[in-house]
Amino acid sequence: MPQLEEFNRHRPLLFSIAYRMLGSVMDAEDIVQEAFLRWQSAAEDEIQSPKAYLSTIVTRLCIDQLRSAKAQREQYIGIWLPEPLVDRQPDAGEQVVLSESLSLAFLVLLEQLTPLERAVFLLREVFDYDYAEIARIVGRSEAACRQLLHRARQRITDGRPRFTATQEQQRRVTALFFQACASGDMQGLLTLLAEDITVWSDSGGLVPAARRPVRGCHNVARFLLGLARHAPADLAIVPAQINGQAGFITYIGGRPQSVVALEIAGERIQAIRIVVNPEKLRAVPALGG
C-alpha cells in the first residue's frame, strides 16, 4: 500500500487520540501532521506495525505537549474549556467517532489526570488497546500501566458524564430552549433547566464573559435571558453537534462568535458550556461555509 494511503487509513484514529489528549482541534491537527513527517522519514525496518508506530508517535508528542503547556494552563484567565469540535452536519463516517468520550464534559474531567495517566486511560478505556500495546507506546511496564489506569479511574469515575437523552430528545429540548430564550419566557426556560445546572464560559480574558460558573436554574435562566435581550440585530444561530452533543453556534456579521454545548439528560439541560475565546473558534466554519 502506498505510504500516503496507509497513513490516511490511520489518520482518523490519530486525530481522535490527539484531540482527546490535548482538547484542541488545531493542536491535534499539528500533532498528526508532525506524525506524518516522521512517518515519511522513518526507515522501513523501524515500522513493523503502522498503527502501533503512528499511535506511539502521536501519544508521545501529546504527552510532551501537555507537560510543556502545564504552566500556560495554570495562568489561563477565567474558566478553561477545550476547543470545541463542531459538526454542523453530523456523519458517523467523519473523522472522529462521536461518543461520550468526546464530550466537553469528559475532556474537562480528563484535566485531573497527569499526561501519562491521561494517555493510558484513553488508550485502554476509549481506544481498547491491550496492556502490552499501551506499555510499548508510553514506554512503561504493563504493571505500571495497570497502576496508572487504576489511579485514573479512581479520579474520574464519579464525575464521568452520563448522557441519557436520545437524539430526538436532544433536538426537542434544544428547540424549546431556543424558543424560550428568544421569547424571554422565564417559566418556559425554567422547565427545561435542571435545578443544579451550571453554565461555564471560556473567554481566555480576550472578550467579555462570566469568569466564574453560574449555578442554579434561576440564576442561569436570568443569565441566559440577559444575553438574549442584549443580542445584536445581526445575530444568527445555527444548531450543530458540539463534541457529539446538542448545541449551536452563534454568528455576528457571518463570523463565529460563540459555540454553545448543551448537556442534556432526559428532558432537562444539566449543564451549558460556552466557548467565546476567539482563539478557540478558528476551526469553526464561517456562516454559509
Burial 4-43 (b: 16+ CB within 10 A, else e): eeebeebeebbbbbbbbbbbbbebbeebbeebbeebeeee
Asked if 7 and 54 count as a contact pair (C-beta separation under 8 A), the reply is yes
Phi, psi of 284 (to 5 degrees): -80, 130
Name the residue among 65, 38, 62 with its Cα closest to residue 50.
38
* Beta-carbon-side half-sphere exposure of residue 128 (alpha carbons within 13 Å): 1
| Other Cβ atoms closer than 10 A to 95 | 15
How far apart are the C-alpha atoms of 197 and 193, rounded to whole Å?
6
Angle at 41 between CA 35 and CA 43, to 5 degrees: 115
**Strand ranges inside 28-169, DSSP E:** 86-87
Q: What is the pLDDT of residue 97?
A: 43
Which residue numbers in the chain have pLDDT < 70?
1, 88-99, 163, 289
136-164 per-position pLDDT tens digit: 999 999 999 999 999 999 998 877 777 67
Residue written as grid cell 467565546: 276
How far apart are the C-alpha atoms of 257 and 47, rounded to whole Å?
44
Q: What is the pLDDT of residue 47?
A: 82
* Beta-carbon-side half-sphere exposure of residue 64 (alpha carbons within 13 Å): 7
208-231 per-position pLDDT tens digit: 999 999 999 999 999 999 999 999
Residue written as grid cell 443580542: 231
What global pTM score does this model have? 0.90
Contacts of 41 (CB under 8 A, 6+ apart): none
Q: What is the pLDDT of residue 1?
A: 55
Q: What is the pLDDT of residue 88?
A: 56
Angle at 92 between CA 241 and CA 14, to 5 degrees: 95
Q: What is the pLDDT of residue 160?
A: 75
Q: What is the pLDDT of residue 250?
A: 96
Residue written as grid cell 499511535: 55
